[in-house]
Each structure stands twice: as structure tokens, then as C-alpha cells.
Amino acid sequence: MSCTRCIPRCRSPFGFGFRDPCDKHDECYQTCGSDKAACDEAFRQSLLRVCGSNPSCRGLANTYYNMVRDYGQSSYDGDQLYWCQCCP
């Protein structure tokens, strides 16, 4: 189902393994009827799990979360429109 758009820097910034959280976030946005806030919070939690206790990684994870929370509405809306065409 996924047609992920995560940019390469999202996937592995500074060597942190963010690929899976990025892909899952894209898939959440692409799930018809998903809740944007829930997708974004799950993304944040997933990024923080990758980071463990590394403060630099955790700071970057929170920055990524803030970006999708604050500026991801058009991506979410576009994915919902595209992926929900099949729904009445």
C-alpha cells in the first residue's frame, strides 16, 4: 500500500535509523480515515524508541515530530484524498 515519500535525510540522519518510523508514518497518513494527530504521536514515539537515551537523537526526533505536527497537514490531506478514493 505504501508509496513512501520520506526524504533520505529522514531515513538516516546523522546515522540514526529513522527509516522504519518514517515509513510507518507515511503508511499511517495513507490509511483511509486515520487520525493525523495519532499518526504524528506514533511517529514521535517510534523515533524516540530508535534513539534510546541518546540526547542528540532525541532532540532530532522531537524536531522531526514538531515538523510533521506543525507543517504536515497538506501531506496528510493529500494522502487521505488519494488513498481514500475507493471509500464512499
Q: What is the pLDDT of residues 15-48, one digit of tens each?
A: 788 989 999 999 999 999 999 999 999 999 999 9
pTM of the model: 0.84
Please determine, for residue 1, whether its predicted confidence score (pLDDT) is greater than 80.
no
Q: Under the phi-then-psi rule, with left for phi > 0, alpha for psi from -120 to 50, and beta for the rest, what region is 48?
A: alpha
Q: What is the pLDDT of residues 58-82, one digit of tens each?
A: 999 999 999 999 999 999 999 999 9
Grid cell digits, residue 55: 540526547
Task: State phi, psi for 32 to the nearest 5 degrees.
Answer: -55, 125
Task: Report which of 62, 16, 56 is spatially closest to residue 43, judged by C-alpha positions.
Answer: 62
